[in-house]
Structure 1
Amino acid sequence: MTVADTASMLIARQPIVDKRRAVFGYELFDRSHPGQAHTPAHDVALVFSALAHTGSEALVGQFAIFVKSTHNSLAGGHLDLVQPERLVLEIEGIAGDAPAEIDAHSHALLGLRKRGFRLAFSQQVLDPAYASWQPLADFIKMDLAAIDPMQLPKLIQAAQTRTGARLIAEKTETAAQYEQLAGYGVELFQGYWFAKPDLIKTRLLPPSQANVIQLINLVRNQASTDEIEQVLKKDAMLGFNLMRLINSSGFGLTREITSFRQAVMLLGLKKLFRWAALLLTTAAGGAASPVVGSTAVVRGRLMELLAAESMSPEECDAAFVVGVFSLLDTMLGMPMEQAVGLLTLQPPIVDALLHGNGPYADLLALAQACETGDAESFRRATAALHLTERQVSLAHLDALAWADALVE
């Protein structure tokens, strides 16, 4: 999730991923006033206002944008603010499935398609009453929380027979659901299945992950430069990434660093640990979606920025580590307790990761609340830290930009 601030505006995003677990697009929604209910009409106006002020690149990069829309909102001039081919309008059904109203809106929806907008509907569009809308569907979102699992095959077959739409399994919560739906031909998924895998008792770490963890432990234990150098020498990609970092323009060095020893000494243990923690989120061989690593990095940076309001620099560093490692179980494919046991971490960090308490617990709860549509959890977490919505909004946008810059 990410947020953008424009005149106290809080816009959240949720990824939609494909079968390779790569991001296909983002659904945007408004959470500017956590204690209040929102209607799609209010959401769509605020979302388009955010796009007008910040630009879609700041919110979603080059990916597709999904926005819930009421029929009344579709006539607004905000549709002129974005490129039609980038936008997917999520169209609501008609109250009572009134045939006259359904047919009346068909012409407007067809006009949107001709302008280049793509349309998404819920599984409701498969009802016979919506036959005139079915040829207009580019996407059909199957809400798994609202569908009897026994009816899924029938609904999916109906969607594939009656429409040319791509199916999105919304509220996919487990890897088992993903496997089943992918087997039925569903191509896209939205939910937290990538962050909640089926955990196994033991798992061998791929070489790159194992080497990064070894490096982290050596740094935390203040090992000698010689010991650290040996880990870098045995992993070509690990060494390459360090040399690329130390020789980047951001360091402003006047000469190129060519040895691991020089790189370690110039970087210092504190920065080396931070770099290794980030690297673990993208280490090759993990079974987790790339979105998981990105989410972890955004969490870490967000927690660090918000911690700066009341904590020391050392505590801000620890808050960053908590955020980055908060999805460690997913990244390594093992229970969190087992994952944390692989690393040498300070007790307050461990308390936050394993027990949800200690000085960093509220920050972690807020970072997690920013990734969901749970307005009440967001309100509680913000209040517990005595922060304003504007502070959180600006920090989250900063965290997103910072995380995106790491992979450019």
Structure 2
Amino acid sequence: MSSTPDQVTPEAEAPAPQEDVAASNLAIIARQAIVDQNRAVYGYELFDRSTAADSHTAASDAALLFNALSYAGTEALVGKKTVFINCTHDSLAGGHLELIHPEKVVLEVPPLPESATQEEIDQRVPALQALRQRGFRLALNQNALRKPYAAWMPLASFIKLDMQAFKPELAGPLVKFASTHSKATLIAEKVETAEQFKLMSDLGVKLFQGFWFATPSLVKATTLRPSQATIIQLINLVRKQAETSEIEELLKKDPTLSFNLLRFINSSGFGLSCEVTSFRHAVMILGLKKLFRWAALLMTTSRADGSPPAVGQTAVVRGRLMELLAAELLPPEECDNAFVVGVFSLLDAMLNVPIEKALESVALPQSVTDALLHGTGVFAPFLALTKACESGDDVMFAKMADELHLSNRQVNWAHLQALTWAENLSME
């Protein structure tokens, strides 16, 4: 991470490799949201993207934690949310923990190797107790539910249950056992389907991690409304007759706003003889007077809370990251389309309908629909790489970066900027 926070700005473009002096000092951090039952972000688990998964050490733990919590006061990366950090047992004894405020983080404590004796497991208890006494919260995984770890259980603030590691019929007994033997908050992780989410939610689990929100069960709700705060920003820009570029930037901040505008302006009721496929074109065609009327109408039909924040935030990060990656390899006019691909890649989740149906009501270039519907065309590898950054999939990350001839540093720098950009938007 750059040595001074102002070296990473929301509007900064990814620097060319030969000019990238600050980037060589970056602590490359990815994050995955932990959400509640309403899909609101509770916290973020952070990953060190500059270190291979099998090279996880006390030193890399220290670097990740220190940089994450010192960078811009964590505001640009995680806002005011709880931070979850994977730790080794060596790093739990590190002096770097003295540099941070315990209330800012949850330390994820791994089990010891299978070969560990009961004595070795019990010997770790005083160190864990000391961390708790200093104010740190500890997260254990489901291996800690085994009998040898009974002394660890009362120290846990969180217990993470891996949905890929047990059969559905074992969910009930696991939740009951964990709830009986600890006061920890349970987190269902690697939740990939709506059925898994419902199963754990019905059992009383309150927090979830994974991509469950990207594959929701189908419902009849097909409207998508931006937050009222964003609409008010748009109305204010129109009233002061802002430049088209300034209005375009606002549209990029909120995927629901841009989706509604493109859908409206391409509707049969608007009567255009050609399809509008970019935000700038839409603003210019509509004009300030009609844009004001449209925003005012949208204001009267919008919910106060907007769309689920975890989904909207992910969509904005995807869009910005794809825009930055495209800027490395594609002509400038294609960067806007790259942004649209990233932002609209979660329309199915935001609308609760299949992506094919979601795209029926909005006109998009063929290259965009090819990527979204078929995973083909010029933008497909960019979208795959973006999803790999998001999920921490190192294999896919390496494959797609190689296919696009992008270095890890280029991709990680762009990802950090996209996270920073999206987080700053949400704080405005």
Mark the runs of 5 or more structure 1 residues left unpaired by the alignment. 213-234, 247-255
Quote how far apart the aligned CAs of 1:14 are.
0.8
Question: Does the C-alpha gap of structure 1 residues 82 and 281 become closer, same or farther in structure 2, counting only changes over 3 Å?
Answer: farther
Q: Alpha-carbon deviations, 1:26-70, whole Å to 9, x = none?
A: 111222255x63335465234124326625333211111111112
Deviations 1:225-275 (A, max 9, x none): xxxxxxxxxx988863422344xxxxxxxxx62xxxx56x85699668657
After superposition, the C-alpha distances for 1:64-94 in whole angstroms (9 at most, x for unaligned) are 1111112122111121232111111111112
Equivalent of 1:380 in 373, 382, 399: 399
Counterpart of 1:157, as a letter, is K
Structure 1 residues 163 and 150: CA distance shift in structure 2, 3 A: same
1:278 and 1:297 in contact (8 A); partners too: no
Q: Does 1:110 align with 2:124?
A: no
| Counterpart in the other structure of 2:338 | 319
Q: 2:420 — aligned with what?
A: 401
2:33 matched residue in structure 1: 15
> Which residue of the other structure, out of 242, 263, 279, is the alignment partner of 2:257?
279
User: Where does residue 37 of structure 1 map in the other structure?
Assistant: 54
How many correspondences in the alignment?
Answer: 363
Answer yes or no: is 1:198 the counterpart of 2:190.
no
- Could you tell me which of 98, 105, 121 is aligned with 1:80? 98
Distance, in Å, in 2 between the alignment partners of 1:172 and 1:119 is 21
- Looking at structure 1, the residues matched to 259 and 419 of structure 2 have their Cα atoms a distance apart, in angstroms, of 15
Report if the CA contact (8 A) 2:356-2:373 is conserved: yes
1:242 aligns with 2:259: no
1:172 Cα deviation after fit: 0.9
Find 2:64's aligned residue among 44, 47, 51.
47
Calculate the TM-score normalised by the size of structure 2.
0.77
Distance 1:237 1:160 in 2: 40
What is the Cα deviation at residue 125 of structure 1? Answer: 1.8
Mapped contact 1:194–1:289 kept (Cα < 8 A): no
RMSD in angstroms over aligned alpha carbons? 2.9
2:257 maps to amino acid: L
Tell me, in whole angstroms, the C-alpha distance in 2 between the residues paired with 1:187 and 1:205: 26
Structure 1 equivalent of residue 266 of structure 2: none
Structure 2 equivalent of residue 59 of structure 1: 77
- Check conservation: 2:216, 2:349, Cα contact below 8 A: yes
The whole-number CA distance in structure 2 between the counterparts of 1:401 and 1:322 is 20
Code of the aligned partner of 2:83? I
SS of residue paired to 2:406: coil
Identity of aligned residues (%): 47
Query: Within 2, Cα distance between the matches of 1:269 and 1:107?
Result: 57
**Distance (Å, rounded) in 2 between the aligned partners of 1:244 and 1:157:** 52
Distance 1:331 1:367 in 2: 18
> Is residue 134 of structure 1 aligned with residue 134 of structure 2?
no
CA shift digits 1:153-208 (9 cap, x unpaired): 111111111111000001111111111111111111111101111246xx3533x5
Who is 1:180 aligned against?
A: 199
Cα separation, partners in 2 of 1:238 and 1:293, compared to 1, 3 Å: closer
Output aligned runs, 1:161-172, within 5 Å.
161-172=180-191
By how many angstroms is 1:107 displaced?
A: 0.6
Cα distance, 1:65–1:238 mapped onto 2, change above 3 Å: closer
Contact 2:75 2:423 in 1 (8 A): no
Moved more, 235-244 or 68-77: 235-244
The one-character-per-residue Cα deviations of 1:374-407 (angstroms, maximum 9, x if unpaired) are 1010011111222122222221122122212223
Structure 2 residue runs without a partner (length 5+): 1-7, 9-22, 261-301
After superposition, the Cα gap between the structure-2 partners of 1:297 and 1:276, relative to the gap in structure 1 and judged at 3 Å, is closer
- Compute the displacement of 1:296 (Å): 0.7
CA distance in 2, matches of 1:236, 1:140: 36
2:372 maps to a residue whose letter is L
